Structure 1
Amino acid sequence: MTSDDEVAGAVRYLFELGMLKRAKRTGWWIAGVKDSETIAEHSFRTAILGSMLAAMEGVDAARTGLLCLYHDTQETRIGDIPRIGRRYLTAADNESVTADQVVAAPAAVSQMIMSVVAEYERGESPEAIVARDADKLECLIQAVEYRHQGCADVQRWIDSSRASLTTASAKRIADTVETVGILDWLR
């Protein structure tokens, strides 16, 4: 039986995750993007991409989407540290942050979330490999959208995201992103 305190712990975690709807991704500021996407917006499309890539790669789409949903939840506590900032800062590992975030939630909830984050962080399962590609591919797609909006200094994000892709499906999508207009879906 779950105690009232554990349910309250889960609710506190849900309120904490609400921060991701307000917290902007900071790396885009370097590129001159004035109103960047939020961490929650990034995570949403990453989860969609992850499930699509998983289907293309023949791995568990639901598990991959779940890994994508939780991949940046720690940023409520440590923020979205741009790559250049990581040279100068040492942050707690994501598994430790997650353990602190869910310590008061029901044991089954805590264990599930910590398991998902640990799998993503290890990056060894086929689903975690696809989820990591989804994260990078979402960044690439967002950069193309920002370039379309007039932000010219995003090519480095496109190039570095493309270079980090490992699955054939993610590479095919990345290649196609450059050939399809961002409003072609209207046709």
Structure 2
Amino acid sequence: MDETEIDATARLIYETGFLKLSKRTGWWLCGVKDPESIAEHSFRTAIIAGLLASMEGADPARATYLAVWHDSQETRVGDIPHLGRRYLKAASNEQVTEDQTAGVPSAVAEQLRALVHDYENGESLEVQCAHDADKLECLFQAIEYRDTGHQNVGGWIESSRVKLRTKSAQQLADAAVAMSSQEWHNAIMRER
């Protein structure tokens, strides 16, 4: 690799770090003043994708990798909530990824472009798990916001739930809505 490819890769790493500072703007419509960042959302989406893939008999590493990159384009176009998408036309995630990976080593560029293309267009079980993970993460986050007093999130819970495709995701959604977001802590404390 030459120095320009290394520099382009370093710039991509800095660019993805911007996701830690970028908020998920749709939550503002529900009254959440300090919503999670895109990076926080992507982190838990990746965890969920790996778990779902394991539960569904798919490749957890592939599903996790798809989920890690699923919102990386938002460094350039921002997090456009569904309401905003009615009025704005943004570049495709594939086009943004192509621009983001310009100049990086060709093996890296090809891999990331193919990954995003697969996420956007694929039908494999890993892609289904990554998409379900995105919806499940929103559902879990909405429940957490609801449990801290934000009552305008019910629509997020239901709209996320109806879009789930895998049986495991549907079962996890059922479990999530049947318990408090603090159930993990309560269960640990009951063990003592």
Q: TM-score under structure 1 normalisation? A: 0.98
Structure 2 unaligned residues grouped into runs of 5+: none
8 Å CA contact retained: 2:147, 2:180: no
Q: Aligned runs of 1:11-30 on 2, under 5 Å?
A: 11-30=10-29
Q: In structure 1, what is the Cα distance between the partners aligned to 2:122 and 2:145?
A: 29
Match of residue 118 from structure 2: 119
What is aligned with 2:99? 100
Query: Hey, what does 1:175 align to over in structure 2?
Result: 174
Shift of 1:79: 0.4
> 1:22-101 residue pairs with structure 2 within 5 A?
22-101=21-100
Give the root-mean-square deviation of aligned CA atoms.
0.7
Match of 2:156, as an amino acid? W
What is the identity, as a one-letter code, of the residue corresponding to 1:33? Answer: V
TM-score when normalising by structure 2: 0.95
Structure 1: unaligned runs, 5 residues or longer: none
Aligned partners of 1:86, 1:123: CA distance in 2, in Å? 22
Quick one: distance in 1 between partners of 2:155 and 2:32? 14
**SS of 2:96's equivalent?**
helix
CA contact (8 A) 1:123 1:132 kept: no
**Equivalent residue for 1:138?**
137
Per-residue displacement from partner, 1:7-53 (whole Å, max 9, x unpaired)?
A: 10000000000110000000000000011000000000000000000
1:154 is paired with a residue of what secondary structure?
Answer: helix
Percentage identity across paired residues of the two chains: 52
Count residues in correspondence: 186
3-state SS in 1 of match to 2:174: helix
Runs of 4+ in 1 over 6 A off after TM superposition: none
Deviation at 1:151, TM superposition (A): 0.2
| Inter-partner Cα distance in structure 2 for 1:28 and 1:104 | 35
Mapped partners of 1:73, 1:123: distance in 2: 18
Question: 1:50-86: per-residue Cα shift (whole Å, max 9, x none)?
Answer: 0000000000000000000000000000000000110
Task: State how far apart, in whole Å, the 2-side matches of 1:44 and 1:90 are.
Answer: 27
